[in-house]
Amino acid sequence: MLDELTFFQRFRVTKLTAMYILELIEDEIEYHYDFNYSLAPINQIMIFLRLCATGTHLTCIGDFAGVHYSTVSRIAVRVGSAIARHYNQFVNLPQTAEEINAAQLSFYERARFPRIVGAIDGTHIRIQSPGGEDAEVFRNRKGFFSVNTQIVAGADEKILNLVARWPGSSHDMTIFNNSCLRRQFDEGRYPNCLLLGDNGYAVKPYLLTPLLNPDSHAERLYNEAHIKTRNVVERTIGIWKRRFPILAYGCRLKLSTTLTIIVATAVVYNICKQNGEPDPPDPDDIQLFVQVIEDDGVPNVPASEDGISGVETRRNFIAQYFAHLES
């Protein structure tokens, strides 16, 4: 029996969270027949968590668990899919007026930036070449194969929205433009709510980006507050990848399985946040992988503006909220 610390180091979650996941999906992954010594649900979950905690080859995970590597592959799909089906239960933007007000207050307390409900960014999840004639579209501008994944983070470092299906060559703005999230904001689902993004996004009435050349005192205050507020999404991505190093080291599975694992780890990440788990320590070399994979500060699409409405919204927003603030 592993003690709590050793368990946490090996599986990147506490025993409490592992049991929570068991209760959540046990009925979905339990084999209802004893065929070839079918693995119990808890053993399946431990194999899945160990895979996500290491990103190592399936054979190594199989040796660790005493099963064939093909069994590990099937478990990755079975358990990952079961967890991912609970996405809407654990990954969502604030819905009620009370939740929205609480989210906006939490963001405001960071750097006095009002009306924010989330910070958006894209992050690359390294994959092996998916093969086929379209494989090269997954090669990003840094030269490796990846899935460009859209993340919206809350002030509490929870993941509020995730889009994990676009190839690495896709621009962040392209992903957003084709997302349900954009449609919801366009349809007015979140009135008086704003997102913060970097200059990889076009400014919109509900998505504010930094000014490239701030001139006035108010504009400089706006940019400073924007940076301090938006960096929560960068921290969230870093913690997510440190908790599940498979996202940083790279996923050596079929593309469809990789997409399932990305969603499933986001769900488990939020469960860990919900349960108040501490952030896991860095494996010795993971920070190097995170730094290589993460953006180098250059937007992956030239800065653009979404017509006069977005520019005017930002200008009026600065005049209303930042013109009279002191440094």
With vertex at residue 20, the alpha carbon angle to CA 22 and CA 122, rounded to the nearest 5 degrees, is 100
- In this prediction the pTM is 0.92
Q: What is the pLDDT of residues 37-80, one digit of tens each?
A: 689 999 999 999 999 999 888 999 999 899 999 999 999 999 99
User: By three-state DSSP, how is residue 250 classified?
Assistant: coil
According to DSSP, residue 40 is labeled P
Q: What values do phi and psi take at 208, rounded to 5?
A: -100, 135
At 38 the pLDDT is 81
Nearest to 180 by CA among 262, 88, 82: 88
At 300 the pLDDT is 56
User: By three-state DSSP, how is residue 230 classified?
Assistant: helix
Would you place residue 302 in the very low, low, confident or very high pLDDT band (cuts 50, 70, 90)?
very low
Specify the length of the chain in residues.
Answer: 327
Q: What is the pLDDT of residues 139-168, one digit of tens each?
A: 999 999 999 999 999 999 999 999 999 999
At 269 the pLDDT is 99
At 53 the pLDDT is 95
At 12 the pLDDT is 96
Would you place residue 97 in the very low, low, confident or very high pLDDT band (cuts 50, 70, 90)?
very high
Nearest to 306 by CA among 191, 189, 209: 209
